[in-house]
A and B are shown apart, each in its own frame.
Chain A
Amino acid sequence: MRRLSWFELSARNRIAALLDARSFEEFIGPEEVVTSPHLLQFDLPVAFDDGIVVGRGRLDGKLVLVAAQEGRFMGGSIGEVHGAKLVGILRAARALAAAGRTQACLLLLDTGGVRLQEANAGETAAAEAVRAVLDARTAGASVVALLGGRAGCFGGGSLIAACCSHIVMSEHARLGVSGPEVIETYKGAEEFDSQDRALAWRTLGGMTRRLLGSADALVDDTAAAFRQAAIAQLQRPRPLEMARLQAEHARLRERIRRFGDCRDGAEIVRRVLEPAAVYGLDNWSAQDTERLIAKLPESAHDAR
């Protein structure tokens, strides 16, 4: 029998499959019914956990803190309670890292961005989360973004991801500030045809992000692959120091220099891979593609 893919799993089940068996302890769980105070006035249903699961558990025996967004509830969007739980777990990670008790916070991001109905609270939370990520990293915790859900990682969520120490993506993941529909609304279909899903993934998808060096690992759409990648990434910590920040800026400058004139993700592929490695070689697993990419100079950086 088939296993459910990472894409198909709920937030809670992703955590259960990612961490060591039965090690997860949820904070502010659904039974506490801490729900959105705003959605009622929009005649919208609430979720018992406001669409995010936070808590602690073990990954390969070590204590980690975790947050997982439920992409199927209001597109995983960040509302007041949702945002508070996210910021809370990141601050807890900072405190525990400072006390030497944890070295990692895992963010299973699956979000279209800030929840429009709770925009002020959501924006504030996204900003606070960015600060909390940087504080946690400064205290010595790795913050690893694991991306592969149906909502993608957009808006405020993408800003949070970009501040993480490590980013892992599946082929289905998308990472970008503005989604195709938003771009088309403001700039027209010639700028970005949002109906062209192949274009969307060529531009924002896991494969392209990996080739650009924006993501650190491309994984198969399975919980086992995400778990393996998270463990591997944690073995290469990236403490937040001036030198690393400067390396990140240099990486981004080099990225513009090398690919700035590319009109399409396919061009990026052609510049990075040999002609024989056709884009989206549909027979390859993400694992095969990752092995190829890992040998390339673009992947040799340690910036983030």
Chain B
Amino acid sequence: MQTLHFSYRAASRLPGKRAQALVGVVASNDLEVLLQRTPKATDCVVTVSTAVHGYDAVWKAVLADFVERRAPGGLRISINDGGARPDVVALRLAQGVRLMGDDA
């Protein structure tokens, strides 16, 4: 298992009422994404736990695009990866962000 850490500066705090959200399942070509709020509004910290080695550059690229698109400020994101392809990662992150905006 490998743990990857990423830190980003986001444009603004992610709006929404929910304190946390969980999307996805740890299964083949899928992943669990836990989103929790942190005090610093422009920080986005991501931790990825994965058994698939050698894709650091891809994670970096996917997460960078996600941060740019969705401005997920004030979030700590924890990921358990079951071997998901980048499009599934991007989808779960987007679903997580949407859930955070839902009514609690």
Binding site for B on A (CB under 8 A): 10, 12, 30-31, 33, 40, 43-48, 70, 72-74
Report A-chain residues with C-beta under 8 Å of the C-beta of B80. Answer: 45-48
Contact of B32 among A43, A44, A47, A74 (CB under 8 A): A47
Rounded to whole Å, the gap between the CB of B20 and the closest CB of chain A is 5
Q: How far apart sit A49 and B1, CA to CA, in the bound complex (Å)?
A: 18
> A73 and B26: CB pair below 8 A?
yes
Per CB-CB distance, the 10 closest pairs between chain A and chain B, nearest first, are A72-B27, A72-B25, A47-B26, A30-B22, A45-B80, A45-B26, A73-B26, A31-B20, A43-B51, A30-B34
25 contacts between A and B (CB under 8 A): A10-B25, A12-B22, A30-B22, A31-B22, A31-B36, A33-B34, A33-B78, A40-B1, A43-B1, A44-B1, A44-B51, A45-B1, A45-B51, A45-B82, A46-B26, A46-B80, A47-B25, A47-B80, A48-B22, A48-B32, A48-B78, A48-B80, A72-B25, A72-B27, A73-B26
Chain B CB within 10 Å, residue with most, of A10, A44, A48: A48
Rounded to whole Å, the gap between the CB of B31 and the closest CB of chain A is 8
Instruction: Check if B81 is an interface residue, CB within 8 A of chain A.
Output: yes
> A45 and B50: CB pair below 8 A?
yes
A53: nearest residue on chain B (CB-CB)?
Answer: B22
Q: How far apart sit A70 and B80, CA to CA, in the bound complex (Å)?
A: 15
**What 0/1 pattern do residues 58 to 83 of B give for CB contact below 8 A with A?**
00000000000000000000101110
Q: How far apart sit A31 and B49, CA to CA, in the bound complex (Å)?
A: 15
Q: How far apart sit A73 and B80, CA to CA, in the bound complex (Å)?
A: 11
Report B-chain residues with C-beta under 8 Å of the C-beta of A43. Answer: 1, 51
A73: nearest residue on chain B (CB-CB)?
Answer: B26
> B34 and A31: CB pair below 8 A?
yes
Contact of B25 among A31, A46, A70 (CB under 8 A): A70
> A45 and B22: CB pair below 8 A?
no
Rounded to whole Å, the gap between the CB of B33 and the closest CB of chain A is 10
Q: How far apart sit A187 and B41, CA to CA, in the bound complex (Å)?
A: 61
A30: nearest residue on chain B (CB-CB)?
Answer: B22
Q: How far apart sit A298 and B50, CA to CA, in the bound complex (Å)?
A: 51
In the complex, which residues 12-54 of chain B have their Cβ closer than 8 Å to any Cβ of chain A? Answer: 20, 22, 25-27, 30, 32, 34, 36, 49-51
A51: nearest residue on chain B (CB-CB)?
Answer: B26
Q: How far apart sit A14 and B7, CA to CA, in the bound complex (Å)?
A: 34
Report A-chain residues with C-beta under 8 Å of the C-beta of B26. Answer: 45-47, 73-74
A44: nearest residue on chain B (CB-CB)?
Answer: B51
Rounded to whole Å, the gap between the CB of B54 and the closest CB of chain A is 14
Q: How far apart sit A44 and B49, CA to CA, in the bound complex (Å)?
A: 10
Q: How far apart sit A44 and B26, CA to CA, in the bound complex (Å)?
A: 10
Report B-chain residues with C-beta under 8 Å of the C-beta of A48. Answer: 22, 32, 34, 78, 80
Report A-chain residues with C-beta under 8 Å of the C-beta of B20. Answer: 31
Report B-chain residues with C-beta under 8 Å of the C-beta of A73. Answer: 25-27
